[in-house]
Amino acid sequence: MFFKFTTAGESHGKALVAIVEGVPAGLPIDIAAINHELWRRQQGYGRGGRMKIETDTVEILSGVRHGKALGSPIALTIENKDFVHWQDVMSSEELDEQPKNPRLVTRPRPGHADLAGGQKYQTRDLRDILERASARETAARVACGAIAKQLLAAFGIEIKSHVVKLGTHPEHLLEKTWEEIASIPKDSPLNCADADAEQEMIAAIDKAKTDGDTLGGVIEVVAKGLPVGLGSHTSWEDKLDGRIARAIMSIHAIKAVEIGDGVANAGRRGSEVHDEIFHNGETFNRSTNRAGGLEGGITNGEELRVRGYMKPISTLRKPLHSVDIDTKEASDAAFERSDITAVPAAGVIGEAMLAIVLANSMREKFGGDSR
């Protein structure tokens, strides 16, 4: 049995839904903890008007009884509060008459799925694409990831994230210990472990807002307490770094993934990169962790560190050049409303995706039907 999940739901549809499989029977499921993760995903300086409408909370429909997993699929749903404003536009029923304001989208945003998706699925209303391409879907992932985190916590494994760069600030990626990341205040505006850098980031967001622009950045996700031996060197699809890269890259707007110091390591000598091996009489250990906790696609007992590089959001208040797909005439790309940046949210989503990959690896290695 694998730990796996699937989601459904459109951004302005009635709800997001997800099914999680592979949760061992008897695992306590803390719904408040799931809601706390959902709350964390909604935070971050630079979010737009939509986050003022939504207060994401989960409803569990199956697979949990009296607070404990049954071992059966866990179905969950998160309501889209904004749906009340979109009932006719997003109705699943065929309508007798067109909505007064059909909110048709015909001016694709460069960088978004709008145009490529519209061409692939042969639609004249790009809303058919953008509704599912929207990062709203990540709320469902975070709920599934919160369950994975609860499974990992039963084995003493914890996952945290932080923002290490936003736009061009600071110049170099922030390097922080687990303890420094753990002591970021819950109300930190950007989930950043360096208060000065955070102020620079906030100023950059304010400037981008004034300019009608958007910003990307870099997040780092760290897992602590992992056993040696998750993943395997034996086959390409079992290499844990490959699985993690896929999971992190699948997050909306993430365009590059780095394990440990992978990017900088490519330009260094071997003697400056590889983490030398010591033994303290009880365990093997290292004094550095440039490999980010993975060697040969296998966890080596060090902290697992992965970075995700996020491009700027593609919905700009000062729109880029585009073409109307109906008239083929030059026009501004569509804009309704948008976040200036969602980098802190990407960190929370990265935690969820890493938790899901690791929960699956734990199942693979240790198996078992019940707690």
| Number of chain positions touching ligand EPS (CB under 6 A) | 14
DSSP 3-state of 222: strand
Please state the closest distance from residue 250 (CB atom) to ligand EPS, in A. Answer: 14
Q: State which of positions 10-39 bind ligand EPS (CB under 6 A).
A: 11
Classify burial at 283, counting beta carbons within 10 Å of its beta carbon; exposed 0-12, middle 13-18, buried 19 or more.
Answer: exposed
Distances from the Cα of 116 to the Cα of 128, 134, 248, 322, 358, angstroms: 12, 14, 22, 13, 32
Q: Which is nearer to ligand EPS, 101 or 235 (CB)?
A: 101
Q: Which is nearer to ligand EPS, 116 or 263 (CB)?
A: 116
Q: State which of positions 105-144 bind ligand EPS (CB under 6 A).
A: 130, 134-136, 139
* DSSP states of 249-294: HTSTTEEEEEETTHHHHTTS-HHHHS--EEE-SSSEEES--TTTTE
Q: State which of positions 294-353 bind ligand EPS (CB under 6 A).
A: 315, 336-339
Q: CA angle at residue 358 from 353 to 364, to 5 degrees? A: 135
Q: Tell me the torsion sign for CA atoms 246, 36, 305, 174.
A: positive
Please state the closest distance from residue 213 (CB atom) to ligand EPS, in A. Answer: 16
50 binds ligand EPS (CB under 6 A): yes
Q: Which is nearer to ligand EPS, 52 or 328 (CB)?
A: 52
Q: Which is nearer to ligand EPS, 54 or 295 (CB)?
A: 54
Please state the closest distance from residue 338 (CB atom) to ligand EPS, in A. Answer: 6
Q: Which is nearer to ligand EPS, 54 or 128 (CB)?
A: 54
Q: Which is nearer to ligand EPS, 3 or 86 (CB)?
A: 86
Interaction site with ligand EPS (CB under 6 A): 11, 48, 50, 54, 130, 134-136, 139, 315, 336-339
